[in-house]
Amino acid sequence: MFNVESSMFVFFQKWSSFIRLSHTLFALPFALAAMAVAARDNRGWPGWRTFALILACMVCARTCAMTFNRIADRKFDALNPRTAGRHLPSGKISLGGALTLCILSAAGLIAASYLLNSLCFYLSPAALLVICFYSLTKRFTDYTHMFLGLALALAPVGAWLAVKGEAISSLEIVQMLILAVAVVLWLVGFDIIYSLQDYEFDRSHGLRSLVVAWGPKNALQASFLAHLVMCGLLLAFGLLCKFRMAYMVGWLIIVGCLVLEHWIARRRSLNWINVAFFRLNAVVSAVFLIVTLAEVVFHGGFRFK
C-alpha cells in the first residue's frame, strides 16, 4: 500500500540533502543576531511579519545559491570521488528539477524582499548575483573563498536592512559593516580548511583556491590570520554595541572553538575536517546568536528594566 507520509518524508529528505539545508546553521544565526541588534529598541523583536520574511529570504537565498553551485559544479563533482555520489552526478535529481528550484527560490527571494521594504527589494537582484557568482570563481581566481565569504556576509546585512530599511543610522552602518567583514573572514578561514580535502583534485583539474596557489601549509597560516582578525572585529562589534559580560563570555568561547578548529586541521587527518568545518563552526554561530540575544533582550544586565 502506498504510504503518503513516508513518500513525502523521502522527498523532503532528498531535496534538503541536495541543498545541504543543515548548513543554514552557519548563516542564519548571524542574520538573526543582526536582526535583533537592529531591533534592539524593541528588545530585538521586529514583529512576526518581518521575522517571517527574513526567514523566507534566508531560505530562498540559501536554496538558490546552493542549487546554482550544484548545477555549475556538476561535471567536476562527477569526476571527484568525494562528490561523485551527489544528487546531480548520480542522477538522483534531474538537471531540470534543479534549474526549476533555482529559479523558484530566486523569485521567492525577490518577492519576500519586496514585502519587506523598497531598499531590500532594489538590492535583491544584486544579492542574487553575488550569491550565485561565487560558484564560478574557482575557475579564474585564487581568492574564491573571499567571494563565498561575501555571499555569506549578505545574511546579516540583509537582516539588518530588513528591519531598518533607509532609516538606518551612521553608527548602525558601521556596526553592520564590521559584523559583515567578520563573517567574511570567518568564512574565508574555515573554507580554506574545508578546501584541504580537494587539494589534489583541484590542482589536477585546474580549479583554483588559496590552498592550490599557496600550498596547504601557507594556506592554513592565512586561515589562522583570517580568524585572528575576525575575532578582533567581533570584539570591536561588541564594544560598539556596548555589550557586556554575556557577550565577552561568548566571545571567549568562539575564540576557543577557532583555536581547536586549527589544531584539528593541523594535527589530525583529513577525515577530521568535517568535524572542524561543521560542528565547531555551527557552535561559533550559535554562541554568537545566543549571547547577542542575551545582551539585546536583557540590555547587558540580565534584568528587565
CA separation for the pair 184, 298 (Å, rounded): 28
**At 93, phi and psi to the nearest 5?**
-130, 135
CA 150 to each of CA 128, 132, 139: distance values in angstroms, whole numbers, following the listed order = 12, 11, 17
> How far from chain centre, in Å, is Cα 127?
13
How confident is the model over 144-202, as pLDDT tens digits?
999 999 999 999 999 999 999 999 999 999 999 999 999 999 999 999 998 888 899 99
Cβ atoms < 10 Å from Cβ of 47:
11
Give the residue carrying C-alpha cell 552526478. 89
20-49 pLDDT, tens digit per residue, is 666 666 789 999 999 999 999 998 999 999
Instruction: Count other C-beta atoms under 10 Å from residue 218's C-beta.
Output: 12
User: Contacts from 276-284 at CB under 8 Å and sequence distance 24+?
Assistant: 276/190, 276/193, 277/190, 277/193, 277/194, 278/22, 278/23, 281/26, 281/186, 281/190, 281/257, 282/25, 282/26, 283/253, 283/257, 284/186, 284/254, 284/257, 284/258
- Amino acid (one-letter) located at 120: C
Encode pLDDT of 99-135 as tens digits. Answer: 999 999 999 999 999 999 999 999 999 999 999 999 9
* Residue 94: exposure state from Cβ atoms within 10 A (0-12, 13-18, ≥19): exposed
Q: What is the pTM of this model?
A: 0.91
The single-letter code of the amino acid at 21 is: L
- pLDDT confidence of residue 86: 83
The answer to whether 184 and 149 are in contact (CB under 8 A) is yes
